A and B are shown apart, each in its own frame.
Chain A
């Protein structure tokens, strides 16, 4: 079975600072994908970034990067130069690469950006 653990229920960061959201995972699958989603207070789920287990380089998407450390089974999200609009819940998720993309989610981290 796959499991995602997000140990930070809440984080408070000053605007323009970088922030790292932690995510560790557990799986026996040799191939898997790791995702980060953002859920603002309006409730929708917004895809941020994806990392495949075989990817040699860490994924980046604009201000988002994924710090993938396979040996440690961690997939931390780094947001550079945080903005007030980054305040939201952030979910780490994973799936098997083969077959249907059945996502397993962590419990989330609530990020608050202070002006």
Chain B
């Protein structure tokens, strides 16, 4: 079955960077886009961007341009999302999701806490 398993919770200081991983299994990793979505506690969903694991092409929400980088390692079927210059407002659960547009499979989420 399709599974996306994300890395564990992180605590970072303001100004630091965080890199979240998303390991895919149960399907051909390079056949489906990976989207990243975040959710602050008690808030709604916020789309961050997408990556094509085959080509490495990416598209980012304007809000995160210059701060986010989405990459992949096809040999281990893993996607990564790195967010830099962290601030307190970046405290959220970060999800990866399989599929372009309307993703059908989601990771379990990774809590990133930004605190001094």
Do A and B interact with each other, yes or no?
A: no
- Residue ranges of B at the interface with A (Cβ–Cβ < 8 Å): none
A residues near B (Cβ < 8 Å) are none
